[in-house]
Amino acid sequence: MVMGQIETLTFVTTLVALQLALILYVWGFISVYFNKSPLDLAVSRYSLPVMLVAWLALTVSLVVHAVQAGHIPATDMYEFSVSFGWGVLTVVLVFRWRQRNDVVSAAGALTTLAILIYAFTLPVQHQPLPLLLNQTWLLPLHVSCAVIAYGLFTLGFVCGVLLLVGRRYTASFMPSLFALDRLGYRSSLAGFCFMTLVIVIGSIWAKIAWGSYWSWDPKETAALVTWLIYAFYFLTRWILGWRDSHSAWFLVAGFLAVLLTFFGNLFFGGLHSYAAI
């Protein structure tokens, strides 16, 4: 009972903290745009500590959930969604630590909030691990790579959208198109490496569980489509020299494929149907 209350409290704390961080970010952007006082500009600096609070609260919520369930949170849509949100928030904070870019951080926080609001609408269950998933070393590795890949692809998507917006509208607080293009490329390249591991590990798992390395399951197929979209993205950059808006559309399309992979089992069933709500 107490553990469940802690899980709920920390999850709600994450939602509140992310909303507060977004308010502080918007306040800072408005202050820059209208040349407000230094006090107004200073207020926006508290957005990063607030996002750290959100990350810590979400981490505690995930750990408590895992303790109650007896396994890592990766067996239903609630657990997938919260893990997805944690991955995005982690990637955004690592990026923010290495490079100050409030617009990208704010967009990442907004995306995380949207994912977690969706998770909030789902039932919270603490079911034992299905026998099919009871491969102790494969499950944590497979899911961890997927969470990191999705988080990195989300950051690339944010850069792609901001790049497309930045070509039409300019503001003093917006990062340069070159910086957005470079960050989108680097984060997507890292995500592509992790997505490759997801597919490879998943294939090994499929051989153990279903007797075949590849079964054209809807979720498997969606993951392959995602991988191919990003592969074409890199080829167009390396061979054709595409940059800016041409590449940005690939980042948007790739993220839509990520969402299809993420939600695929809900609409198409298949061998991954154990992950439905």
Write the pLDDT tens digit of every residue in 22-72.
998 888 777 766 666 554 555 567 888 999 999 999 999 999 988 888 878
pLDDT at 273: 56
Q: Which CATH architecture has domain 130-277?
A: Up-down Bundle (1.20)
What does pTM read for this prediction? 0.88
Q: Which long-range contacts (CB under 8 A, 24 or more apart) does 91-99 make?
A: 91/148, 91/151, 91/152, 91/154, 91/155, 91/187, 92/51, 92/151, 92/155, 93/51, 93/52, 93/55, 95/155, 95/183, 95/187, 96/48, 96/51, 99/183
CATH 1.20.120 intervals, the chain: 1-129, 130-277
CATH code given to domain 1-129: 1.20.120
